[in-house]
Amino acid sequence: MTSTRGGRPISRCCERAATRLRHSSRRQCVPARVFEAATIRVVPRIDREEFINVGVVLHSPEAAFLDCRVELEGARLAALAPRLSCAMVERHVQAFVAVCRGERGAGPIAALSRGERFHWLVAPRSAMIQTSAVHAGVADDPAAALERLFRAQVGPV
């Protein structure tokens, strides 16, 4: 029997279990990080509440991550709103992206912190560019989670 640092004596069979494993050949475990995400939508006529999903915005404070992925398909937009200018909608969507990424020249909101920008982007509004409700999740890699959500929410049906 041996004792550990003045503690109670332990048997030899438990001594090995009581020591910490110093080196391991196993891959280090990367902790999953919490994220919040919302789907970006184009709502051509707010009164009709019809929309198409055009992107996803994802924020992970633990990973210091805020980004979005967008893709506007002109054919889908034309099917929903034939008289709407795709170029004009694209400008609005790109303004959303610029604020998300904190680009210079994107206005005062783009200068806010990641968390403040995310919450401003996902705030409910009656505008042509809107977001869904915010949903939470966990992921080891926020960029990969963004891609996965984009494919699920916006990708081809």
| Tens-place pLDDT, residues 108-118 | 999 999 999 99
pTM of the model: 0.78
pLDDT band (50, 70, 90) for residue 126:
confident
Q: Looking at the DSSP assignment, which residues form a beta bridge with residue 35?
A: 137
Model confidence band, residue 145 (pLDDT cutoffs 50, 70, 90): very high
Would you say residue 145 lies in a domain?
yes
> Residue 103 sits in which domain range?
31-153
Q: Residues 13-39: what's their mean pLDDT?
A: 67
Q: 144 lies in a domain?
A: yes
* 20 in any annotated domain: no
Whether residue 37 contacts residue 135, with contact meaning beta carbons closer than 8 Å, is answered with yes
CB under 8 Å to 69, separation ≥6 — which residues? 55, 56, 146, 147, 150, 154
- Could you tell me the two tokens for 109? 């909101």
- pLDDT value of residue 29: 63
User: How many domains does the chain fold into?
Assistant: 1
Q: In angstroms, rounded to a whole number, what is the distance separating the alpha carbons of residues 99 and 68? A: 10
Mean pLDDT across the chain = 86
Domain assignment present for residue 134? The answer is yes
Domain assignment of residue 140, yes or no: yes
Question: Residue 19 to residues 2, 10, 12, 28, 82: CA-CA distances in angstroms?
Answer: 12, 12, 11, 19, 70
Q: What is the pLDDT of residue 32?
A: 80
The answer to whether residue 13 sits within a structural domain is no
In a domain, 95, yes or no: yes
